[in-house]
Structure 1
Amino acid sequence: MRTCRRALTVLALTLPLAAMGAVPVVDDNSGSAGSSYPPSGYGTAGAYAGGAATAAPSAQGQLFMQLQQMQDEISRLRGIVEVQQNDIQQMKQEALDRYKDLDSRIGAGGAPAAPAANNSASDGGVNAGGAPVAPAAGAAAQAPQTSSEPGDPAKEKLYYDAAFDLIKAKDFDKASQAFSAFLRKYPNSQYAGNAQYWLGEVNLAKGDLQGAGQAFAKVSQLYPKHAKVPDSLYKLADVERRLGHTDKVKGILQQVVAQYPGTSAAQLAQRDLQRL
């Protein structure tokens, strides 16, 4: 009996000690170098998540920069397109103005102006640059070639009218060829001054500024007394302006105003001089 009581007493004393040994011991030095909190598994996942969060803004930044570069390039290309569209529109407007001007001149009549008593270049004129040509030298260098055929006014008129009809038909390539052929065949014809002027007009309508300038300049060089000289000089100034030779434009316009007062070409030249 005593043995049982002693055993119960020992058991009662040891149970609390066993329970205390089962409770985990918490180390209060969690901030020490030897501690690891949070657990290693959680720490690894957290490091991975932190790395992803750091990399994401970098990728987004690169994408933003690429988009910004694309927008800048698109803006630059749009600017180029707008400039080209403006240039094309200006060219179309100039071409339309040339056609309207040509139509008005055609409407005025293609019949040649009254020929001067002397169509030679004895009085001189201006060259393509607007500089006066000395009478003697100009006559020697720019005199029309002698026709290989005897003069036949009726035949010359048929030839001239055929070339002029090509202008009315807006066939400027063939008209240019026809007037050039006419001038080679009948350089001394009463229609030659007009043919030389209209050669400049059709070349201008074609957009051949160099050919137009040469043709207009030859009117005053080869036919200085012809009624088309003021108009040809004014058109020559317009060609030089289109070519960008602004230094020559003013001199030609001043010559038209000074030498051919009262003409429509002089009035237009005076207006253009005021705009310069």
Structure 2
Amino acid sequence: MTKRLFAGVLLSSLVLCAHAQGTGPLAIEDRSAARSMADAASGEKPRSAPAMSEDGLIMLMQQQQQFEEQVQMLQGQIEELRHELQVMKDAERERYLDLDTRINSLAEQGVAEQSEGGEGAAPADPEADKQAYNAAKDNLVARDFDAAAEAFEGYLKDFPNGQYRGHAHFWLGQVYSNQKTPQNDKAMEQFQAVVDDYPDHSKAPSSLYTLAVMQARSGKVSEAKINLHKLIKQYPDSSKVSQAKSLLDQLNG
């Protein structure tokens, strides 16, 4: 036993000396290997590796905290995007519901429109005037907006004294703003035409309110406020007055 122990110690010493002479100070791995050989030769148990330093542990904890903060930030961004998407969906749904209501109302207006008449001078051919307007209106009821736009444009061009021009301008404005690719500038022009050319028309208050809404959305807040005040003053009995006041409060808030 003594001879074996002596031989092990001697072998370890020779290895250490050889490394010191040939390569300088031993690397950590070499030292560990030499220590293991010495332990094996002497019959001792291998020594365990040193525990992680406090600085290394602190660094790992800091990295974990950074990762958790990044995950929380990404989750917050996802929630914001979800909220914005829901707001857009709600606005789109409200817009189409409003259009549906208007279209359903339009389908029931035939008799009322005929009784109004007199929006301008009598057309040369009242029956052709009526048929052209009804054809355009049918496209709108069928939600064929492109065909409706073309038909209303044709009506306004072909019947400069048509008895339904006020309605045609209003519905053409609705069509432009509800096309797959909305043409908001053209829509506002049509609503403005109703307000300017047919101030006593049944669609004048709705045209004025819709015009103000579109102006506010496009950043023309001062113009929108002017039209809302005009609506409240000129059409105090209109059902749009309460909506106009509510929108004014929002724009002033």
Partner of 1:74: 74
Q: Is it true that 1:181 corresponds to 2:183 in the alignment?
A: no
Give the whole-Å Cα distance in 2 for the aligned partners of 1:262 and 1:58: 72
Structure 2: distance between partners of 1:184 and 1:217: 17
The Cα shift of 1:268 comes to: 4.8
Whichever of the two has the greater Rg, that structure is 1
- Number of residues paired by the alignment? 205
* More relative contact order, 1 or 2 (CA 8 Å, 6+ apart): 1
Question: Do structure 1's residue 151 and structure 2's residue 109 form an aligned pair?
Answer: no
Provide the C-alpha distance between the structure 2 equivalents of 1:203 and 1:117, rounded to a whole number of angstroms.
Answer: 23
The CA deviation string for residues 54-105 of structure 1, in whole angstroms up to 9 with x for no partner, is 3963774476256325513532431342233233223333323322332343
- State whether residues 212 and 223 of structure 2, in contact with CA within 8 Å, keep that contact through their aligned partners in structure 1: yes
Report the equivalent of 2:35: 41
Kindly provide the CA deviation profile for residues 161-192 of structure 1, in whole angstroms up to 9, marking residues without a partner as x.
Answer: 01100111111222122111211222221121
Distance (Å, rounded) in 2 between the aligned partners of 1:63 and 1:273: 51
Q: Is 1:164–2:141 an aligned residue pair?
A: no
**How does the TM-score come out when normalised to structure 1?**
0.60
Relative to 1, partners in 2 of residues 1:239 and 1:104: Cα closer, same or farther, differing over 3 Å? farther
Indicate conservation of the 8 Å contact 1:118/1:225, yes or no: no
Residues 176 and 183, structure 2, Cα contact 8 Å, conserved in 1: yes
Measured in 2, the distance between the counterparts of 1:72 and 1:117 equals 62
Deviation at 1:225, TM superposition (A): 4.4
Taking the TM superposition and a 5 Å limit, the aligned residue runs for 1:109-148 are 109-110=109-110, 111=113, 114-116=116-118, 118=120
After superposition, the CA RMSD in angstroms is: 3.5
Tell me how far apart the structure 1 counterparts of residues 241 and 84 of structure 2 sit (CA, whole Å). Answer: 35
Task: Give the 4+ runs in structure 1 shifted more than 6 A.
Answer: 42-45
**Partner residue, 1:106:** 106
- Give 1:41's aligned amino acid: R
In structure 2, the gaps of 5 or more residues are: 1-33, 40-45
5+ unaligned residues in a row in structure 1: which ranges?
1-39, 120-149
Give 1:257's aligned residue.
232
CA drift at 1:212:
1.9
Aligned to 2:207: 232
